[in-house]
Chains A and B, each alone.
Chain A
Amino acid sequence: MQKTKTLFKLWLFCVMVCLLSGCWDREELEDKSYVIGLGLDHSKEKDKIKVTMLLANPEVGSMQGGGGSTEKPREIITFDANDFIAAKATANSVISRNISYELLRIFVVSEEFARDPMFPTTFDEVLKDKEIRLNSYIAVSKEKASQYFLKNKPRMETRPHKYFQFMVDHGIENGLIPDSNLFRYFNTIERGSDLFLAMYTTAKRQKNPEIKREDEYTAGELNATGELDDTQFIGSAVFKNGVMFDTLTGQETRTINILDDTTNIKDILVNMPDPFSDKKRQFAARIMKTENNKVKMNLKGITPKIFINIPLQIEIMSNPSMVDFSKEKNQQILKKSIADHIAKVNEDLLKKTQTKFKGIPYPLPLYSKKYFATIQEYKKFNWAKAYPRADIKVKVDITIVDYGNRTKKAKRLGG
């Protein structure tokens, strides 16, 4: 009796093991082809879109040490489709494996398509698909998305998923591109009170770009030469109600990223005008944002008043006019000059958004919610209408954590 019982239990165990594999949702890694990037373009046919899929080869780079296969790290296919969900099936007539969006990292939309008023309705399908995650990014490319993927040939990070992940992550840390994931895109549309910024990218370098300050470029304008890939991620595309209508430079994007507490910028390196130099020299500094901004508002009356207080920590990295910072007076001059400079940059940009964009480039209305008791009152205030006439004051609190290595005045050479 005991034996049969044990035997029965063992048999049950074996049956359970069979269940584990499942029948319908069984997935084999060998059988899968993962789409890392999805490009969306206008199609020549009306009511259709052009879908470009960037497929990664999971075999490449997964091998430890040498060996590995000689297969290419990626495949790209472009075709016309009604939408990008059913396109998965269509693509299977070209790609041998089962296509999956599970590891989709980035949507690249051509600027032309993003400016189309039809774009949001097409893009809304993202929410319907069960494989696409809301933390994938959306980027706008200057050229056609199909060409973008073809031209984008990274030299070092040949595996596309790593390339896009690193490119985007470091861009966001530097503040030069916005943290534009799908989650934020749809939230912004839902709120309807502010603008959405998407990262701006191109794989085509401009012919003769002019040389500007280190962060005033938009994608394609940075004149980098050498042995490199032409893809650039810098600046942002501005969306109103889900449709793109303008762009911002890298510097403007960075300013907004500092204003916006919901993005994770780390420390950023910038150049700032040197107050001690009469030749308009600049010094390098590292800006660190460790605390959240303090926003106060006075929304009674016709012109809403908004006071933004930005706490920043700054590390001085260079000292072109050889000033002795051990003197209290010099420290004060420097602090005031930095604070004024940053405040001015911010106010100028906000002025631009008020007059040119007529919209708020980051979720500022969120901070106003606590001044209202009910939703009805908040809706009645109507931020979209109130913002252009608002009076915005920016104040910057500077803490200089480091004045550089040299405390003693160095010998002045040359200029």
Chain B
Amino acid sequence: MKQQSGKLGIREFVSIAVLMVGSKATEDTPAILYSQAQNASWMIPFISAGIFFIPLYLLIKTMSVYDEKDLFSVIKIILGKYIGFLVCLIIFIMSSYAVSFDTRTYTNIIRAFYFTTTPTLIVYALLILICAYGAKKGLQHIGSVSYLIVFYGVLSLYIALLLGTQNANINSMFPIWGPGPLALVKEGSQKLTLFADFFLLTMLVPYLTSKKAFKRGTWLAYFYVTFQISIAILTYVCMFDEGLAGIAYPFHTVIRFISLGQYIPNVEIIFFIIWIMAAFIRFTAFLYINAMMFGHLFKIKDFEYLIPSLATLYLMIGMIPEAPINVSLVFKPLIVSTAGPFFAVISFVLWLVALLKGEFKHAKNKDII
């Protein structure tokens, strides 16, 4: 059995990746993209994926030189003890910042659509509590649960979108270039953070069954997720047309609008349950990776004990913004505009230094011997 070996197979890894990145189609990301690229915003995931492909490819290539080493170990080996530590610390802080405000975004969604009178703190605390519990269970559990859920998550997303297309008009996707091809490329290059999670997922390398599983899993999830986010945004654009500009959380507006025929008109709760389970997994995995980073930074071996305290810390940071609007307009843009490019630069620098140091040649020689 896989559980005994304590490693993740390719399917678990892909499930985690799909849930972590793919769920971006169901929160406020489409609205943010739409505000910049209007009806051509469905192209942004493709453009961003195309640009982020290069650093991610270089990173995976660099990492494949070192067997069974995670991202932080590789950074420390390549950049040295001190610079390596600094870079790792920055990555950890960024990722912590992201997880704090992403969880807050989800709390906002839950409060806005489903539990309107419950205090934010209660909803938030429950969300964090469940994620912390899940993360404490360990990576194997996260992997198997996400493999269990991923089908329902993806299926329910497509069913919702399919029901939405009944009210959609394909003509809304035109004019094909939206605000102009140049503006699109510019926007796409600024939205690299869409795929920043793949950078963080390289922390899980030592826990995978094989190097090949990691490589193939990453690319599989990468291309699939690009496709999924793009399809989702395209459906929103075709449904809401220019009205999408005023909608903060399109997915939830869609599931409130659609109905299963005349007799089952209000179906959002079915989709909500599956969505919230996917959200739990997303943040559980996120929390686990962050704890792992922290453990790595400060040489704490049993980092799983850190999870509850880290989770509490994130809860406290996430509670700083007063209203949902502050989260999506003040706090989130900061990380969205910096994380992706920063991670891309780090990947590039790692590859360059490794190349100059001649690590790739060493590896080749080792293979021959």
- Contact partner of A130 among B112, B173, B246, B266, CB < 8 A? B112
Provide the bound-state CA to CA distance between A369 and B173, in Å.
8
- Contact partner of B172 among A102, A127, A261, A366, CB < 8 A? A366
- A363 interface residue (CB < 8 Å to B): yes
Given contacts A133-B257, A186-B243, A375-B39, contact A23 B118 (CB under 8 A): yes
- B312 interface residue (CB < 8 Å to A): no
- A125 interface residue (CB < 8 Å to B): no
Question: CB-CB < 8 A to B337: which residues of A?
Answer: none
- A169 interface residue (CB < 8 Å to B): yes
Question: CB-CB < 8 A to B180: which residues of A?
Answer: 374-376
Q: Is the CB of A134 within 8 A of B253?
A: yes
Q: Is the CB of A370 within 8 A of B179?
A: no
Q: Is the CB of A190 within 8 A of B175?
A: no
Residue in chain A with minimal CB distance to B244 = A190
- Contact partner of B179 among A127, A165, A375, CB < 8 A? A375
Q: Is the CB of A367 within 8 A of B39?
A: no
Q: Is the CB of B179 within 8 A of A25?
A: no
- B141 interface residue (CB < 8 Å to A): no
Question: CB-CB < 8 A to B167: which residues of A?
Answer: 183, 262
- A336 interface residue (CB < 8 Å to B): no
- Contact partner of A373 among B113, B177, B257, CB < 8 A? B177
- Contact partner of B256 among A134, A187, A367, A370, CB < 8 A? A134
- A403 interface residue (CB < 8 Å to B): no
Question: CB-CB < 8 A to B365: which residues of A?
Answer: none
Q: Is the CB of B169 within 8 A of A374?
A: no
Q: Is the CB of A262 within 8 A of B169?
A: yes
Give the Cβ gap from A91 to chain B, nearest Cβ, in Å.
Answer: 18
Provide the bound-state CA to CA distance between A376 and B175, in Å.
9
Q: Is the CB of B175 within 8 A of A374?
A: yes
Q: Is the CB of B117 within 8 A of A24?
A: yes
Number of residues from A at the complex interface, CB < 8 A? 31
Q: Is the CB of B243 within 8 A of A190?
A: yes
Q: How many A-B residue pairs have CB under 8 A?
A: 85
Q: Is the CB of A187 within 8 A of B243?
A: yes
Q: Is the CB of A376 within 8 A of B179?
A: yes
Residue in chain B with minimal CB distance to A191 = B242
Given contacts A24-B118, A186-B243, contact A375 B171 (CB under 8 A): no
Provide the bound-state CA to CA distance between A375 and B179, in Å.
5
The contact string, 1 if C-beta is below 8 Å from chain A, for chain B 238-260, is 00111101100000010011010
- A135 interface residue (CB < 8 Å to B): yes
Q: Is the CB of B241 within 8 A of A370?
A: no
- A22 interface residue (CB < 8 Å to B): yes
Question: CB-CB < 8 A to A24: which residues of B?
Answer: 115, 117-119, 122
- A378 interface residue (CB < 8 Å to B): yes
Given contacts A134-B253, A370-B171, contact A190 B242 (CB under 8 A): yes
- Contact partner of B178 among A127, A190, A262, A374, CB < 8 A? A374
- A377 interface residue (CB < 8 Å to B): yes
The contact string, 1 if C-beta is below 8 Å from chain B, for chain A 244-262, is 0000000000000000011
Give the Cβ gap from B355 to chain A, nearest Cβ, in Å.
Answer: 41
Question: CB-CB < 8 A to A133: which residues of B?
Answer: 256-257, 266
Provide the bound-state CA to CA distance between A260 and B318, in Å.
47
Provide the bound-state CA to CA distance between A326 and B253, in Å.
54
Q: Top 3 A-B pairs ranked by shortest CB distance?
A: A369-B174, A24-B118, A372-B175
B residues within 8 Å of A by Cβ? Answer: 38-39, 112-119, 122, 167, 169, 171-180, 240-243, 245-246, 253, 256-257, 259, 262, 265-266
Q: List 16 A-B contacts (CB under 8 A).
A: A25-B118, A130-B113, A130-B116, A133-B266, A165-B262, A183-B243, A186-B246, A187-B240, A190-B241, A190-B246, A363-B169, A366-B171, A367-B171, A370-B176, A372-B175, A375-B38
A residues within 8 Å of B by Cβ? Answer: 22-25, 102, 127, 130, 133-135, 165, 169, 183, 186-187, 190-191, 261-262, 363, 366-367, 369-370, 372-378
Given contacts A25-B114, A186-B243, A373-B175, 18 further A-B contacts (CB under 8 A): A23-B122, A25-B115, A25-B117, A25-B118, A127-B246, A165-B262, A183-B243, A187-B243, A191-B241, A366-B171, A369-B175, A370-B174, A370-B176, A372-B174, A372-B175, A373-B176, A375-B39, A376-B179
